Chains A and B, each alone.
Chain A
């Protein structure tokens, strides 16, 4: 199990890191006719060394032990082993936990834009103990956006998941409205009408958010400030709008370790299952799911 996920990470520029990747030399198509000569001819020495120098030598903890040297209570122990223990229990309760992936729509939608963030990132921003002290900020320059778009990044899903994701996003929009004076918020989802039908009056009470039943077709970064221009389709016509920050609504998934545990206990579960029931209990009486 790894929790070190591959996610966007920063890569520095340093003059001595070559940037151009090396090309493998090949014999021409003409030379390949009617023979089985090796097509790729291999790197020359200097090319190989240059290519190898492009390697970033990724590593997290260096193992330099500076922290250990500085730790007054001597709490750091590099040799502290992993621990395995056997438990015997009468009851197992599974809760969902969460993991969210971005499903990119249209070519360049979403996570490659500097000022596009996920709903989970916004949740962290809004938390007072979070990295931005409760402020919503643009990752590109740390400024507070005055115009925010929320957009759904996935297509048809289980209604329970759809409702959970939209509710989560709408709640973020509500908090953003409270926190940022005069902010303009648009909320674009192809399931907006369907959601409104199920959410009813609670949604009508939300003010200051422009709910749009539509789907994003394309998004592009514009200008030096890297605002995001979003093209979306609504009611049969195409519209464009420019946002200072775009929040991508992502699809929650069951972390693999939970799904695996459930499988070992003999049931198949998905994230939606947890939404209705919030947790699964396995006791001597068999499986029982509990409603929140």
Chain B
């Protein structure tokens, strides 16, 4: 029988045994291990031990000797596909930075290395050095170099937090801001509204509290405008002639435009349906969290790079998508998610029931809005908090917020919930709406039912279940639904053949943000479903890179 090729994934005891067996059967074996070393003694977990077999140690020597086994450590198999009964695999092997052929394992390097770090192999019981063997048994020396610190890795945009915070500590504010703007053109806005996932990961949190990364970003950006410092623009010398259309002037579209300008594109047009640019920064997030004048500064910084924004142009009604497609070399769809989801309760379309996002948009654009009496807000996310807090500001005497689960499950940021309560919003937990109570064609209240948390589901989340007989009516003059938004994708014709996801979002390649239609990209909420702004910006940057690649060929690889 011809020699077969076998891929064994995992260099633990089972993997080593399988590799040896396959090699003994005359096959060529690739043993791929995620960590830098294979093997390690283990205490059995399949039988209660007797005096003799305390540990089982895999036979590393046999592996080393066996010419039919190729050990690939620090590696992962990516893209496994089966084809005609065979398997194609791409193996990515992270560099050890130590030439294993030359290394004689003398240990001099670990004696002098000045760094102590967490020792994964020994579960943190001791410290290892940055250059180190992973497992003393396999003795593979290796330099442990992280791609980036945890904060940066957690940031959807991978902002170089360590550096820009360090510059602030050094008092070099301009350098700090320039570091941020290499990637993000919205430091004033993001510095105010970001829910900062980076801070939850900050290692300082182990000691006391995380660094206020988000507010520090706001600080350096504020410092520039408060001191009337002219922002520095960095436009490349080389220019490109292609025409690019961006639909939607939200964080995602504008970040994409900014990066395209940084690449050297001069004909970038952003089409915006509303009279003002900024997307949800402008018409979603209320002014008390992000003032219009502040946002305008971020946008001005972007337009100064040569980006044209055409407001009041709704693609799909004023001007057709096909027309834009013919007239441009590449298109980004960054139209966000502006269509409110329905509560799916009776009488939802009665007078006096409003979409929360529409209310916020009308407030932001100084349109007329309801503002008298008592309001109910249904929902537990940040949008619900914004509607409730804006409601009190605009004139409602009382705002009651209903949420089906408990505070712990609330998707809104805890500080937002605190602020809302602080300002007088009454939050009712474990209450679900059942039916809008209508009198004379107008909503006068909401019939609700009390809930309790039941058994955890498969994902560990405890589902709320109604308590029978606990129905009650809460009175209200106005009811706002704030339970989520989906994308209004009606601007494109079905015939073009775009694929859509669950949130009516444009399906894209998660790496390149390319849709299934060549030359058309989509990012931000329109691609991910309603999400956070920094992720929309990150998508905008990635799509700019992809558009550049698409127009210029594989220039960046």
The chain A residues found within 8 Å of chain B, CB to CB, are 1-11, 19, 21-22, 24, 29, 32-40, 42-43, 45, 48-49, 51-64, 66-67, 70-78, 80-98, 118, 120-121, 123-127, 129-132, 139, 164-165, 167-168, 170-172, 174-175, 178, 199, 202-203, 205-206, 255, 257-258, 261, 264-266, 274-275, 278-279, 282, 284, 292
Contacts and interface: CB of A to CB of B under 8 A. Distances in A.
Contacts of A74: 102
A70 B9 contact: no
Q: Is the interface of A mostly helix, strand, loop or mixed?
A: loop
B254 to A, nearest CB: 21
B95 to A, nearest CB: 5
Q: Which 3 pairs between the two chains have the least Cβ-Cβ distance?
A: A95-B10, A67-B109, A75-B102
Contact of A61 (B12, B92, B143): B143
B144 A61 contact: yes
B77 interface: yes
Given A6-B150, A56-B203, A93-B6, A88 B88 contact: yes
B240 interface: no
A11 B206 contact: yes
Interface in B254-291: 286-291
B269 to A, nearest CB: 31
A115 B290 CA distance: 47
Contacts of B30: 87, 89
B288 A37 contact: yes
A281 B101 CA distance: 32
A89 B86 contact: yes
Interface of B: 4-10, 12, 14-15, 18, 22, 27, 30, 34-36, 41-49, 51, 54-55, 76-77, 79-82, 85-104, 106, 108-127, 130-131, 136-137, 141, 143-147, 149-151, 153, 162, 165-166, 168-169, 171, 192, 201, 203-204, 206-212, 215-216, 218-220, 222-223, 286-291, 294, 390, 393, 395, 419, 422-424
A95 B7 contact: no
Contact of B109 (A35, A43, A70, A139): A70
B12 A279 contact: no
Contacts of B4: 89-91
Contacts of B395: 34
Contacts of A71: 108-109
Given A71-B108, A73-B104, A51 B211 contact: yes
Given A43-B215, A84-B90, A89 B5 contact: yes
Contacts of B169: 49, 52-53, 55
A168 B34 contact: no
Contacts of B294: 38
15 contacts: A7-B118, A7-B120, A9-B124, A11-B207, A48-B168, A49-B169, A58-B149, A73-B102, A75-B141, A88-B5, A89-B87, A123-B42, A129-B137, A206-B48, A261-B80
B7 A91 contact: yes
Among the interface residues B48, B118, B126, B144, which one has the most CB atoms of the partner chain A within 10 A?
B48
Contact of B98 (A75, A130, A284): A75
A1 B393 CA distance: 47
A66 B291 CA distance: 51
A153 B85 CA distance: 43
Given A43-B216, A139-B125, A90 B98 contact: no
Contacts of A118: 123
A199 B48 contact: yes
A167 B110 CA distance: 37
Given A29-B423, A48-B216, A121-B123, A202 B43 contact: no
A21 B212 CA distance: 8
A54 B47 contact: no
A100 to B, nearest CB: 9
Given A76-B97, A89-B30, A42 B123 contact: no
B45 A168 contact: yes
Among the interface residues B94, B103, B122, which one has the most CB atoms of the partner chain A within 10 A?
B122
A86 B123 contact: no
Given A39-B288, A75-B99, 17 more contacts: A8-B124, A11-B206, A24-B215, A39-B289, A40-B289, A43-B219, A52-B169, A55-B162, A61-B115, A89-B87, A91-B27, A124-B121, A165-B45, A178-B51, A199-B48, A257-B77, A284-B85
Contact of A66 (B82, B101, B113): B113
Given A95-B12, A96-B10, A49 B168 contact: yes
A123 B49 CA distance: 14
Contact of B76 (A1, A59, A62, A274): A1
B99 to A, nearest CB: 5
Contacts of B390: 36
Given A9-B206, A89-B5, A279 B14 contact: yes
Contacts of A125: 125
Contacts of A124: 121-123, 125
A199 B54 CA distance: 18
Given A3-B120, A34-B393, A86-B90, A258 B149 contact: no
A8 to B, nearest CB: 6
A82 B95 contact: yes
Nearest to B13: A95
A261 B90 CA distance: 11
Contacts of B12: 95-98
Nearest to B91: A85
A59 B113 CA distance: 14
A203 B48 contact: yes
Contacts of A167: 44-48
A72 B103 CA distance: 9
Contacts of A126: 43, 54-55
A76 B131 contact: yes
A172 B41 CA distance: 13
A167 B46 CA distance: 7
Contact of B119 (A2, A81, A131, A264): A131
B139 to A, nearest CB: 11
Given A126-B43, A171-B43, A80 B99 contact: yes
Nearest to A205: B48
Contacts of B130: 60-62
Nearest to B33: A97
B18 A93 contact: yes
Contacts of B131: 61, 67, 76
A123 B336 CA distance: 51
Contact of A54 (B96, B211, B288): B211
A83 B75 CA distance: 9
Contact of B162 (A59, A62, A81, A88): A59
Contacts of A278: 14
Among the interface residues A97, A164, A172, which one has the most CB atoms of the partner chain B within 10 A?
A97
Contacts of B46: 164, 167, 275, 292
Contact of A132 (B43, B125, B424): B125
B119 A84 contact: no
B174 to A, nearest CB: 13
Among the interface residues A29, A71, A77, A255, which one has the most CB atoms of the partner chain B within 10 A?
A71
B5 A175 contact: no
A45 B85 CA distance: 65
Nearest to A86: B90
Contact of A60 (B92, B117, B208): B117
B166 A55 contact: yes
A55 B143 contact: no
